[in-house]
Structure 1
Amino acid sequence: MNFLHTEYDSEPDESLEKSMSLVASAISDPSRVSILCALMDGRAWTATELSAVAGIAASTTSGHLTRLLSNGLVICLTQGRHRYYSLAGHHIAGLLENLMGVSMRSHRAFTPGTPVVLRYARTCYDHLAGELAVKIYDFMLTEQWIESDGNALTSAGKAHFQHIGAVLDPRPRRKPCCACLDWSERRFHLGGDAGQALMALLLQKEWITRTPGYREVSVTDSGRIALSRLFSLNLS
């Protein structure tokens, strides 16, 4: 599998303001937003699949993907004769998650409009989000698995992660742990390398399953038992 190298629209000597406006412009189209949101499941999609989820013609999808590629929002990987598109990284997923939160703000009392299945459990690129993830994060804070600012696991937290089998990267190229604002719950869930490690464990143990083509996550019967035991949750 090879990366398709792309060039950014902006020149190196252009201002930060101009670069920001180019990225904002690339996100401004509803069809491109649909494509980016689909890629938030952390997997690679073909242009045909993205065309279907965005409800647009294949030729139109190609133009949108070119725009997203040129602004560094997505990457393209080639495998044989096929091309697969994915988000350019967890930093882009974070940008989209924050944008979702800002877009849902209102002066009125907050009432979630997200479908129930997505509100409960979904992927946030490579970690778990939704009501379930927020409850797990609250447990970790209460039990002092993570620092109060959410930026690091405590010694106890690292020990517990090792005990349950969540493998942490000893030299992560990203934040080892972070508080990621959940756009449907308006509270924090676990992000960073620790969030990815927990998600990988839940999938490996088949405590959760992913719905192909969607961000929705379902908790299995064995998962309900395990998560209730590990994080003192009532998942009956």
Structure 2
Amino acid sequence: MKDTRLKDGPDIARIGSLIGDPARANMLTALMSGKALTASELAAEAGVSPSTASAHLGKLEAAALVSQRRQGRHRYFALADDDVGGLLEALMGLAARRGHTRTRTGPREPALRRARVCYNHLAGELGVQLYDSLRNRNFLVVADDGIGLSPDGREFIATLGIDLAPLEGGRRPLCKTCLDWSARRPHLAGALGSALLDRFQALGWAARQEGSRVVAFSKAGETRFAESFPP
């Protein structure tokens, strides 16, 4: 009999089994909006009972895929970190490229592909445009240990009203790539990606659509975005 036990190394089978369950996959996908949700809200997303949802969430939390915080009587769940969001986005891209899709086409589909939240940063066509624009102007530089801002890039980010000091003092990497599932090309994640999305909303260029991952840019906001991040 062949020995089918896993050898030494990272246990990808455990991660795969946790994400692969349909109910848990629906919960994790719902948390890609970047918002923390209650167990009841996630139960509705997964189409399961509250007790079943709690059991699923316990498994996800034990595997460090989600985290929770208490606020009053409620428990709120969110993705554990950028790595989990990046993994889910990459899996969505792989599924789309292999023709494994459950997406129901409708009015929101083009909007999702245009601009959406990927955990805490901008994804979709505009997210890819942002990344490409920074790279084309050498504001982002690629090194063996990842990507970072060039001196000119730091000056440019400052003109947008973003203070890099607190971002660099955090635990998250400042710049990180995330493979966009719809465009199949990188967009910018990390602390800077998150700060840029927050800044676009603070400037009134864009706003989150309620109950959706869609980021809707106003006409004026998209013009300002194109001026700042020319394709």
TM-score, length-normalised on structure 2? 0.85
Counterpart among 41, 52, 76 of residue 60 in structure 1: 52
| CA displacement, residues 158-185 of structure 1 (integer Å, 9 cap, x when unaligned) | 1000011123213231222122211110
* Aligned-residue offset at 1:202: 0.8
Name 1:226's counterpart in structure 2: 224
* Aligned-residue offset at 1:20: 2.8
| CA displacement, residues 109-128 of structure 1 (integer Å, 9 cap, x when unaligned) | xxx99721111111111110
Counterparts in 2 of 1:170 and 1:28: CA distance versus 1, 3 Å: closer
Match status 1:93 vs 2:91: no
Counterpart among 134, 142, 150 of residue 154 in structure 1: 150
Name 1:143's counterpart in structure 2: 137
**Structure 1: distance between partners of 2:71 and 2:104:** 38
Counterpart among 20, 44, 62 of residue 28 in structure 1: 20
Name 1:127's counterpart in structure 2: 121
Q: Is the 8 A contact 1:177 1:195 kept in 2?
A: yes
* Aligned-residue offset at 1:141: 1.3
**Structure 2: distance between partners of 1:113 and 1:153:** 39
Letter aligned with residue 76 of structure 1: Q
Q: Is the 8 A contact 1:167 1:197 kept in 2?
A: no
Which moved further from structure 2: 22-31 or 156-165?
22-31
- Give the total of aligned pairs: 215
| CA displacement, residues 198-225 of structure 1 (integer Å, 9 cap, x when unaligned) | 1111121121111223211100233123
**Structure 2: distance between partners of 1:132 and 1:91:** 21
Q: Is the 8 A contact 1:177 1:193 kept in 2?
A: yes
Name 2:4's counterpart in structure 1: none
Which moved further from structure 2: 23-32 or 51-60?
51-60
Q: Is the 8 A contact 1:166 1:200 kept in 2?
A: no
SS of match in other structure, 1:193? helix
Structure 1 residue runs of 4 or more that deviate by more than 4 Å after TM superposition: none
Name 1:51's counterpart in structure 2: 43
Letter aligned with residue 45 of structure 1: L
Please tell me the root mean square deviation across aligned C-alpha atoms, in Å. Answer: 2.2
SS of match in other structure, 1:59? helix
Which moved further from structure 2: 152-161 or 139-148?
139-148
* Aligned-residue offset at 1:99: 1.4
Identity among equivalent pairs (%): 40
Mapping of residues 178-189 of structure 1, within 5 Å? 178-189=176-187
**Structure 1: distance between partners of 2:194 and 2:159:** 16
| CA displacement, residues 13-58 of structure 1 (integer Å, 9 cap, x when unaligned) | x9544x4322221111111001001101111101111122222222
Letter aligned with residue 83 of structure 1: R
Name 1:193's counterpart in structure 2: 191
**Structure 1: distance between partners of 2:196 and 2:174:** 12
Q: Name stretches of at least 5 consecutive residues in structure 2 with no aligned partner.
A: 1-6
* Aligned-residue offset at 1:133: 0.8
**Structure 2: distance between partners of 1:204 and 1:183:** 26
Which moved further from structure 2: 144-153 or 128-137?
144-153
Mapping of residues 82-121 of structure 1, within 5 Å? 82-106=74-98, 115-121=109-115
